[in-house]
């Protein structure tokens, strides 16, 4: 990136000397080439060129307070310049007599003195003849002119620009190109927000990991890292782009390896049926680095949603497991019948019965005594993930079968585990 920055300055340096005629073509082409390397649109490049020409013109031939606009003809390789004025009247400007200005300033009259605008909120900005035009005068040039319109008055074109003006143009080019590059990168990564992207670990500072994503660098904070994972410089990683923020140094990219949606996007990349919509991921419950449960469903006959996700000999799901650092993944079939869904969510444990308590959004599940610890899982993980996946509180009990209540619609709820 630093190398390209030098190129910008070297190309812009070419505008330091010489006449306007004959050099605009080279000038515009050089900026176009630079912008093309940085992925900036043609329209944005023309804005940069016109802003630089306007700044140079004002430096040599303009007056203080004037607003000058340049229009660059890419075909003819020529430029036109205009003085821009806003249409005003006494309702939007304060008109001050010259004697009043002198009394306030306490100074002798100065030719072409710019009148400073009043900061007081109770007073209107002062009328400035260099950038304001009375409505009466504006109507002579444009019959339908109204307050707030802008009028462009043609300015003479000069062949020569001084060195100071050229330096001004150079600085404008450098600044605007940098701004355009930041905007271009922001827009590019904003489109990728909420997706899984490939990156390379650039550096590790403390517990923060910086990942090179190509044109910019994202940060992986400790809270977004999978517990137990170690990152080394040069390591290729898949990360989830959580959020893109605007920053003066470029887009701020916040990355994650623990976000539940990362699992969804990995399956979408590896399973064509999910990508095309034949198979749908209905719910995800994840404890990053340890275990994930996903509920899948297909409305098309003859399509096995679980088999599609697992792949032949488990190749598809194994690729995702490897990308997540060995995280275990349970794939279950989603069912609109809450009892069947809850029962499947507790896999690999076998369920004897499910009793639903609709008012509390609670399910009491009975499993064989020898399946009790398997249903609950290590430190309650299995039943906790099942509760998140189904949206029901789940109580697991061993022994007798409880009565089965009526099924209701799914709803999100917290996990509550009791062992009897």
38 close to 45: Cβ distance less than 8 angstroms: no
- Judged against a pLDDT cut of 50, whether residue 319 lies above it is answered with yes
The per-residue pLDDT for 11 is 41
- Judged against a pLDDT cut of 90, whether residue 20 lies above it is answered with no
Distance between CA 52 and CA 281 in Å, rounded? 53
- Report which of 326, 318, 319, 375 is spatially closest to residue 352, judged by C-alpha positions: 375
In terms of C-beta density within 10 A (0-12 exposed, 13-18 middle, 19 or more buried), how is residue 172 classed? buried
- Judged against a pLDDT cut of 60, whether residue 310 lies above it is answered with yes
CA distances from 241 to 79, 108, 198 (A): 43, 62, 10
Residues 370-403 have pLDDT tens digits of: 889 999 988 899 999 999 999 999 999 886 444 3
The per-residue pLDDT for 383 is 92
Q: At residue 182, what are phi and psi to the nearest 5 degrees? A: -65, -45
**Tokens, residue 311:** 């792949």
Give percent of the chain with pLDDT exceeding 70.
78
3-class state of residue 13 by DSSP: helix
Distance between CA 104 and CA 123 in Å, rounded? 15
Distance between CA 186 and CA 179 in Å, rounded? 11
- Judged against a pLDDT cut of 90, whether residue 283 lies above it is answered with yes
Cα Rg of the chain, angstroms = 34
Lowest mean pLDDT among 110-114, 333-337, 342-346: 110-114
- Judged against a pLDDT cut of 90, whether residue 59 lies above it is answered with no
3-state secondary structure 328-395: EEEEEECCCCHHHHHHHHCCCCCCCEEEEEHHHCEEEEEECHHHHHHHHCHHHHHHHHHHHHHCCEEE
Mean pLDDT taken over the chain: 79
- Judged against a pLDDT cut of 90, whether residue 9 lies above it is answered with no
Distance between CA 202 and CA 189 in Å, rounded? 18
Distance between CA 54 and CA 224 in Å, rounded? 48
Residues 163-201 have pLDDT tens digits of: 777 787 778 877 877 777 777 788 888 888 889 999 999
- How would residue 17 be classed by pLDDT, with cut points 50, 70 and 90? very low
**Tokens, residue 24:** 């605009």
Q: At residue 387, what are phi and psi to the nearest 5 degrees? A: -65, -45
What are the E-state strand segments in 41-183?
A: 67-73, 78-88, 132-134, 150-155
- Judged against a pLDDT cut of 90, whether residue 307 lies above it is answered with yes
Distance between CA 383 and CA 25 in Å, rounded? 71
Residues 245-279 have pLDDT tens digits of: 877 666 788 999 999 999 999 999 999 999 999 99
Taking the complete model, does pTM exceed 0.75, yes or no?
A: no
Which domains are seen in the chain, by residue range?
2-186 (3.30.1480.10), 195-258 (2.40.50.140), 259-334 (3.30.300.20), 338-420 (3.30.300.20)
Residues 110-165 have pLDDT tens digits of: 444 444 444 455 678 888 888 888 888 888 888 888 888 888 888 888 777 777 77
The number of beta carbons lying within 10 Å of the beta carbon of residue 175 is 13
What are the E-state strand segments in 129-279?
A: 132-134, 150-155, 196-205, 208-212, 217-220, 236-245, 252-256
Q: At residue 208, what are phi and psi to the nearest 5 degrees? A: -90, 135
**Tokens, residue 297:** 């469903």
Residues 67-107 have pLDDT tens digits of: 888 887 766 667 788 899 898 888 888 877 655 554 555 55
DSSP 8-state symbol, 77: T
The per-residue pLDDT for 250 is 63
Q: Which residues pair with 292 in a beta bridge?
A: 286, 329
């Amino acid at each position: 990136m630093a190398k390209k920055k030098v190129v910008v300055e070297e190309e812009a340096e070419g505008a330091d000397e010489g006449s306007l005629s004959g050099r605009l073509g080279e000038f515009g082409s050089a900026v176009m080439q630079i912008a093309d390397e940085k992925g900036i649109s043609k329209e944005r490049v023309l804005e940069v060129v016109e802003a630089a020409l306007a700044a140079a013109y004002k430096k040599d031939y303009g007056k203080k307070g004037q607003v000058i606009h340049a229009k660059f003809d890419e075909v003819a390789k020529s430029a036109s310049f205009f003085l821009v004025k806003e249409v005003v009247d006494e309702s939007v400007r304060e008109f001050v007599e010259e004697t009043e200005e002198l009394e306030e300033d306490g100074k002798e009259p100065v030719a072409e003195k710019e009148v400073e605008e009043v900061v007081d909120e109770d007073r209107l900005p002062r009328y400035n003849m260099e950038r304001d035009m009375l409505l009466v005068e504006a109507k002579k040039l444009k019959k339908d002119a109204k307050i707030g319109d802008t009028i462009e008055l043609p300015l003479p074109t000069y062949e020569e620009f001084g060195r100071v003006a050229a330096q001004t143009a150079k600085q404008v080019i450098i600044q605007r190109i940098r701004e355009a590059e930041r905007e271009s990168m922001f827009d590019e990564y904003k489109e990728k927000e909420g997706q899984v992207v490939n990156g390379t670990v650039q550096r590790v500072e403390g517990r923060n990991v910086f990942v090179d994503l190509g044109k910019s660098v994202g940060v992986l904070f400790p809270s977004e890292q999978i517990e137990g994972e170690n990152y080394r410089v040069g390591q290729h990683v898949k990360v989830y782009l959580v959020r893109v923020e605007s920053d003066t140094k470029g887009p701020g990219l916040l990355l994650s390896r623990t976000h539940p949606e990362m699992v969804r996007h990995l399956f979408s990349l590896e399973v064509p049926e999910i990508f095309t919509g034949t198979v749908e991921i209905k719910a995800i419950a994840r404890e990053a680095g340890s275990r994930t449960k996903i509920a899948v469903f297909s409305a098309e006959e003859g399509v096995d949603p679980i088999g599609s996700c697992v792949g032949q000999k488990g190749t598809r799901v194994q690729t995702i497991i490897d990308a997540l650092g060995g995280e275990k993944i349970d794939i279950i079939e989603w069912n609109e019948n809450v009892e069947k869904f809850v029962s499947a969510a507790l896999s690999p444990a076998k369920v004897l019965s499910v009793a639903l308590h609709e008012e509390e959004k609670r399910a009491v599940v009975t499993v064989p005594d020898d399946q009790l610890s398997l249903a609950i899982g290590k430190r309650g993980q299995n039943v906790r993930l099942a509760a998140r996946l189904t949206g029901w509180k789940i109580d697991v009990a061993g022994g007798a079968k409880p009565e089965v209540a009526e099924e209701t619609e799914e709803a999100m709820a917290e996990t509550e585990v009791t062992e009897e």
